[in-house]
Structure 1
């Protein structure tokens, strides 16, 4: 199979679909890899390193898309990239389609086989291809939030961990999943006063076992969200419904009731955000202020630490890339129900139910779409 790795063109996105080590592994399996020139610069990997690993270096993205059987990326294809997709071509990347009707429309029109990292499941549950980026984003959320609390950034001028004789910041994390847990690791490490709101009793028990008295857990209800958001200095939105748009747990009234100079870091922004006042921002222009509250809503947070993120992502995506290349997409998807769960669009049909529901498409079961 011929695999293409274009350079990411989303604003301030420095990750790359395959590392040189991954390229070498794919080539060892008898496949060919095209890598766009300078695609790996953001992770410190030169074209010469990719060439030594076995890749063919190609200057133009158009050639990558035209020649490749499978495109491996990190972020969702941008409009110009979507126009280059063709029927039957495999696209393997993050998609986050539920809050993105334009992308969904273009992918449906392309006829391509679109497999989303974020909905591939694991044999023991969970979302293994989303997990490493959730870990990165959770940890970054506290770094970003602490920075935004500085006066110069529009914050109230508060040090996250305080100092002797001065209370630390109160950090409220909405959601106790992978993002929430890793946000808590960083927040507690910095000495903040940390509260996690969560609906699952099992998850709260696990959080209590992990963090003990360093973290307070509360059942997430409308009342508890209202109370804790109002008391917070830093709120981290860490909610996730796999493949679906994020629920709007924080309304405009709650934002208005927050302290002036407090901060919201909405990690759920990839799925539309969990606050009514959230809209996607970039690393180039990461924040804006609503009712005195600093909003940090960067839609590709892990791209800010591209080297760590790319290597962590490749650790989990590479086996699937190899399986798709070795077997072809039909056999690989038929053999692995967890990979099949990642199929969001195929042959002009929406094959992920939460996306179809969110955007008003007819849902077609993945097996049926592939058979057609």
Structure 2
């Protein structure tokens, strides 16, 4: 099989979808790997490193003219011209953006395989989890940075000073993002509260992972009180493959003290704060109601070396299965993988995306197409 790895062109996105060592493993199995020139530089992988492992360096167009394209982030509009019935394996977050990308995928008969909805045998999201962990760690560090007075913040440090705690952090969501954000905040020494909806799960987290954290049930009443007294609020809400619900209302944000910070990690799926809007690493924040909002849609791209290594560790087993087993056999035999198929040869196969984007008439069940 011919496998292409384009250079990511999203603003300040330094990750690459395949390392030289991963490419070598595929090449040794008889596959061809084509990597765009300079695709790995920001992640620490030189052109020569790819070539010495058997990779063919190519242009962007040539990287797309293959059987399987492996990326990191969703294609940008300038890349739609390359769509031509190939398989595309990457993060899509189709429900969190307008329908232009989905329409382009459908019209070009691409098969879109989404990292974020691929499940393993335990029903977990192994590829999304790796990036969620990095984003969760980042959320606390970014929040602490923007709380500094020179960065428009209120001047509160998250941490323990001479045995006394300073700074309060609210994490909305208790999944991978929320767990890592809470751990990082506890590590700094801040007072941390996590809001969730499953009391048994929160009790397990309290006993097994986060003994220093206070847990609350996420309701409008509890959130109104907790948001108002928090210096940093981290949005870590996930609805698999769907738009994130707006858990934090604009009224709640208005009640936060001036110079507080919001980091909305759910922004890839539309954000879980009513006041959130997508930002970039070039212009990462905006201020609304006196509160600094950080809503970068590709947070792990700020740490491309770590993120690339973690991402490739998670994706490579599935790439191997895909190229060795074949797409149709993999869909038939792996229910978790089949959940990653959002578009199959130009047919919309994700009912959630169809509902979120108003494309119900384009939806077809995957099993009807195989």
Matched, 1:188 2:151: no
Tell me the distance in 1 between the aligned counterparts of 2:171 and 2:140.
10
In the alignment, what sits opposite 1:149? 147
In the alignment, what sits opposite 1:284? 282
Tell me the distance in 2 between the aligned counterparts of 1:128 and 1:165.
38
In the alignment, what sits opposite 1:137? 135
CA contact (8 A) 1:107 1:114 kept: yes
In the alignment, what sits opposite 1:57? 57
CA contact (8 A) 1:90 1:329 kept: no
Q: How does 1:259-274 map to 2 (within 5 A)?
A: 259-274=257-272
- Cα deviation, 1:23-62, whole Å, max 9, x if unaligned, reads 011111110000000000011100100011110011x211
Q: How does 1:123-272 map to 2 (within 5 A)?
A: 123-164=121-162, 167-211=165-209, 213-272=211-270
Secondary structure of the residue aligned to 1:308 is helix
CA contact (8 A) 1:83 1:110 kept: no
In the alignment, what sits opposite 2:106? 108
Q: Which runs of 5+ in 2 are unaligned?
A: none
Matched, 1:97 2:112: no
Match of 1:310 among 308, 311, 334: 308
Match of 1:73 among 56, 71, 79: 71
Secondary structure of the residue aligned to 2:96 is coil
TM-score (structure 2 length as normaliser): 0.97
TM-score (structure 1 length as normaliser): 0.96
Tell me the distance in 1 between the aligned counterparts of 2:265 and 2:274.
14
CA contact (8 A) 1:99 1:272 kept: yes
Q: Which runs of 5+ in 1 are unaligned?
A: none
> How many residue pairs get matched?
367
In the alignment, what sits opposite 2:22? 22
Tell me the distance in 2 between the aligned counterparts of 1:30 and 1:37.
22
Q: How does 1:3-42 map to 2 (within 5 A)?
A: 3-42=3-42
- 1:213 deviation in Å? 4.2
Deviating beyond 3 angstroms after TM superposition, the runs of 4 or more aligned structure 1 residues are none
CA contact (8 A) 1:119 1:341 kept: yes
